[in-house]
Amino acid sequence: MDKTTFEAQVPSRVSAIVSLFHAEKHFQAARSLLALTEEAGVLNAQGAVDTECARYVEIPLIRQIESEVLKTLELLRSEEGWQISYEGNNTKVWYRQSANSSLNTFKVEGTLLAPVVNVAALLNEIDLFGELFWFMRQTKETERVSRTRTAFSIATSLFWPLSDRFANVLGYAVDGLDEDECMMIVCRDMDYDVDVNAKGQKFAKVPVPKGAVPMRAELIGWQFVPIEPTLTTVRLVAHVDLNLSFVPSAFVNWASKAFARHTIATLDHQAKQLPPAHQQRLVDPERRQVYDWIDGQLRSYWEKKGKADVYDGGELHNDPGRKLSDVGNATGPDKKLVMQMMKGGK
């Protein structure tokens, strides 16, 4: 392609990228913008791209999200440098500590007997975290930016030396069903100097609670891979700074294993039959917009695979050889279960 032809295509290509962004198809938007930038560099036509991009207020946010979503996907797919912490019937946990850095990374994978929308509901209703996870002291949605983008604060009450930790976070959904056959939630620490709300204004700062220690959520990603209409593989990668002067890698390895297993077991137990409070949110006029969107994307996905009738039926996938929980014979995950693991239980 010559420079003239390329420059003639730039307006429509940038417009298409913005449309992908508004459809939450952030992987496709990121890759399309990268490809456009690379082609412009080869053809010495970056000026045309910059001029067209300047017409859209969304482009700076797309560029920011571009690095976040692609890095999250890279961490989830990477195989090098990880230490396996736990491998059970249905759950795997990996750990990696960055050299010369306070950042710690862990990754967990599990398969749940539940549809994607149920799992997403458990993670989207932030103020209900305390009903699911015993270590959540206080969680609050501070501002809903858009249908799939929200700012929230999270306070945890943990054991020494982690004690109480606090973070202000910005999270958003990603529809990657078309190319990557997954949906995702990507979260990161709030940047009060850069991030803006739905009105284009900077977020009001949420103070750190008395007695809590701020931690930094460099990047947290949840990936939902629909295996069957009611069978979902869930992957979590967390790249965090716990704000400790010294963190023995063995301790973080052990702690991440315990909490990762607890989290997957909790989601598995609760997503099969959502708690009443979460069921109410699915039909709440002020909350259901995001769930209608997820449902629509998934129905289209399964329709293309010839399984729309199974998806609409909602019957749980039958896997008689699979255990609902990797941890003991507990009927449901709770604090006692995790404390057992912390004492050395398998």
131 and 20 share a domain? no
Task: Determine the residue type at 196.
Answer: V
38 and 155 share a domain? no
Q: How many CB atoms lie within 10 A of CB 248?
A: 11
Evaluate whether residue 66 is within a structural domain. Answer: no
Phi, psi of 232 (to 5 degrees): -130, 125
43 and 86 share a domain? no
Q: Which two tokens stand for residue 172?
A: 């958003």
Range of the domain at 105: 80-342
Query: Residue 245: in which H helix or E strand, if any?
Result: none
204 and 335 share a domain? yes
- Note the pTM of the prediction, 2 decimals: 0.84
Please enumerate in sequence order all residues whose Cβ is within 8 A of that of 210, keeping only pairs 6 or more positions apart, or say none.
none
Distance CA 243, CA 255 (A): 15
Evaluate whether residue 123 is within a structural domain. Answer: yes
pLDDT at 338: 44
Phi, psi of 4 (to 5 degrees): -65, -45
Task: Determine the residue type at 129.
Answer: F
Beta strands in 89-148 (DSSP E): 91-97, 103-112, 136-146
| Domains held by the chain: number | 2
Evaluate whether residue 70 is within a structural domain. Answer: no
Return per-residue pLDDT of the chain as tens, 346 residues.
899 999 999 999 999 999 999 999 999 999 999 999 999 999 999 999 999 999 998 898 888 888 899 899 999 999 888 988 888 888 999 988 776 667 788 899 999 999 999 999 999 999 999 888 878 888 899 998 888 899 999 988 766 666 788 999 999 999 999 989 999 999 999 998 888 887 788 888 888 888 888 888 899 999 999 999 999 999 999 988 877 766 666 666 677 777 788 889 899 999 988 999 999 999 999 888 999 999 999 999 999 999 988 888 765 544 444 444 443 333 344 445 444 444 444 3
Evaluate whether residue 75 is within a structural domain. Answer: no
98 and 190 share a domain? yes
Over residues 6-56, the pLDDT tens digits come to 999 999 999 999 999 999 999 999 999 999 999 999 999 999 999 999 999
174 and 27 share a domain? no
Q: 112: helix, coil or strand?
A: strand
